[in-house]
Structure 1
Amino acid sequence: MTDLFPRPPGLAVFLNAGDPPFDVLDDIADMLDEHEVDVLELGVPFPDSISDGPVIRRSADRALAAGTGLEDALAFVERSRARHRHLRVVVLADWAHTVRPRSMAEVVTAIAGSGAAGALLHGAPPRVRPDFYERAAAAGLPVVTTCYASSPPAVVAEAAAHASAYVYLVTHYGPSGAGPAPDAGALRVPVDALRALTDAPIAAGFGVRTAADVARVHAAGADAAVVGSTVVARAESSLAGGGDVVADLAGLVTGLRPHHLSHRLSHRLSDPLSFPTP
């Protein structure tokens, strides 16, 4: 079992591989590492996602138009692994677009070989998930499973049984980027249900936009918050306006931290002696 969120409240952010372009994305990843963001959920872009809202769908379309594929995403993962002390990259791959045209064996082997900290298989039908779990375990590839806060007990049990990286607990139905902020009281029930079934960390996402939302997720007992559409939207706006994408996202990440963590990290970032030499 990996511990991707060693100091709760943990933070994971989502971006698509290839959007922003990889030269900018490399700099963003360096910034995320310096700010001790725990996980970058890196999407291998795919079209027409029914689980995503317009912000992430536009991002995927831009990355696809640039020709981004699995190989490009995994090359990024290898670069990240080689130079980052804190940040870990989890790869999100879509079953229909990325896995089915190849094979489960090929994709799992490739992701494991990149040094990814985990894999999330998006949109996989129930009949193929056992093969994914078995091949990932054999390859030593940690698995991110998913369930909704309102999922039936059988779905929750499957997510708990097979999570070896973390369980991504989706706070509400509907596309990403929409819906209400997390309710700590309501979220406590599904978090406790998962906690009774697994020792894997629990990361909650959808509707997480602010430091207050991150605090609510933590108050519900989750180990980490996942922020997706807000990060993608800020990158999109910065790129469209000719801004400094890395600096803009650094400001966003800092603003997502509870005050005491932001103060501690700001102190460390201003003191070069606080970081060990590579």
Structure 2
Amino acid sequence: MSEFFAHRRPGRPGLAVFVNAGDPPLALLPELVAMLDENEVDCLELAVPFPGSATDGPVVRASADRALATGVTPRAVLDTVASVRPGLRRLRIALLADWSHTVRGTAPGEFAAAARDAGCDGLLLHGVPPRLRTAHYEAVRRAGLPLVTTCYAVSGPDAVAEAVEHGSAYLYLVAHYGRSGTAAAWDRKRLGAVTATLRSAASAPVAVGFGVRTATDIEFLEGLGAEAAVVGSAGVARMEQARAAGRDPVGELQSFVRELRTPQPSHTPADGRKRGIHP
């Protein structure tokens, strides 16, 4: 499997974009994937939709519900990935799957092998019970599919060490505790310290998400040492707003990606603060 974020330009962090498969409709996924690839997005974090996520806010949860209402299945998602993967030049696909809704009941490693065979470059397993994590980490490793692991900026040493040990695709550092899409502020000092710890200990790149909405946010994370930024709710919301207004959601996401890639003029307010950041 190819390394995530390996093709990012010097001085510019990698970019991962989250999308629920099936929202917009699965038939548009090939067009969306091609657009992300053409616009030099490094990673599509593609979720097999599942209901009632405890870690997602209303924007992503509503997106998952819309996708599920169309009858999207894991098999249909993997088949679509298999159809588009051969034509990609740089975009990597990390599949996000919920253990209870999608993976539970399959033999260890079976789902990972299916994702690998479809052409996914990595797997993020959501909600694996603690007592089963070691077995699932090992099963996914045997399947030959790199793992995305997660920890929070407020995680203790054991959780950070677990993420470092098992993360082989990239480490997803959640910038603040809570649900995605919330407006909680970033603690600059803590986030910088955890990013530095992960980068010094991990062999996989570190990507930071939760609350990333603008090019300025991404530049700030780069300054902390993050190798990539993950954008979720902000992009999902833009696509939903476009659909509600009768516009093309893929075109709207393209406009948003280009905004995220547009360098911003340096500006620090007189009080030394930036949006969402504690001094």
Q: When the two structures are superposed, what TM-score results if normalisation uses the length of structure 1?
A: 0.90
Shift of 1:106: 2.2
Q: Deviations over 1:109-130 (max 9, x none)?
A: 2111111110000011111111
2:53 aligns with 49
1:98 aligns with 102
1:12 and 2:16 aligned: yes
Q: In the alignment, is the contact (CA less than 8 A) between 1:2 and 1:142 conserved in 2?
A: no
Q: How does 1:248-259 map to 2 (within 5 A)?
A: 248-259=252-263
1:244 and 2:248 aligned: yes
User: How far apart, CA to CA, are the structure 2 residues paired with 1:218 and 1:104?
Assistant: 37
Q: When the two structures are superposed, what TM-score results if normalisation uses the length of structure 2?
A: 0.89
Q: In the alignment, is the contact (CA less than 8 A) between 2:242 and 2:249 conserved in 1?
A: yes
1:232 aligns with 236
Shift of 1:102: 2.9
* Paired letter, 2:178: G
Q: In the alignment, is the contact (CA less than 8 A) between 1:182 and 1:208 conserved in 2?
A: no
Q: Deviations over 1:140-167 (max 9, x none)?
A: 1000000001100000000000111000
Aligned residue for 2:72, secondary structure, equals: coil
1:209 aligns with 213
Q: Deviations over 1:54-107 (max 9, x none)?
A: 111011111111111111111122123111101111100001100113333321
Aligned residue for 1:154, secondary structure, equals: helix
User: How far apart, CA to CA, are the structure 1 residues paired with 2:81 and 2:136?
Assistant: 20
Q: In the alignment, is the contact (CA less than 8 A) between 1:185 and 1:220 conserved in 2?
A: no
Query: What RMSD in Å do the two structures reach over aligned CA positions?
Result: 1.5
* Paired letter, 2:118: S
1:143 and 2:147 aligned: yes
Q: In the alignment, is the contact (CA less than 8 A) between 1:182 and 1:216 conserved in 2?
A: no
1:265 aligns with none
Q: In the alignment, is the contact (CA less than 8 A) between 2:85 and 2:119 conserved in 1?
A: yes
Aligned residue for 1:259, secondary structure, equals: coil
2:269 aligns with none
Q: In the alignment, is the contact (CA less than 8 A) between 2:238 and 2:252 conserved in 1?
A: yes
Aligned residue for 2:171, secondary structure, equals: strand
1:89 aligns with 93
Unaligned runs of 5+ in 2: 265-279
1:3 aligns with 3
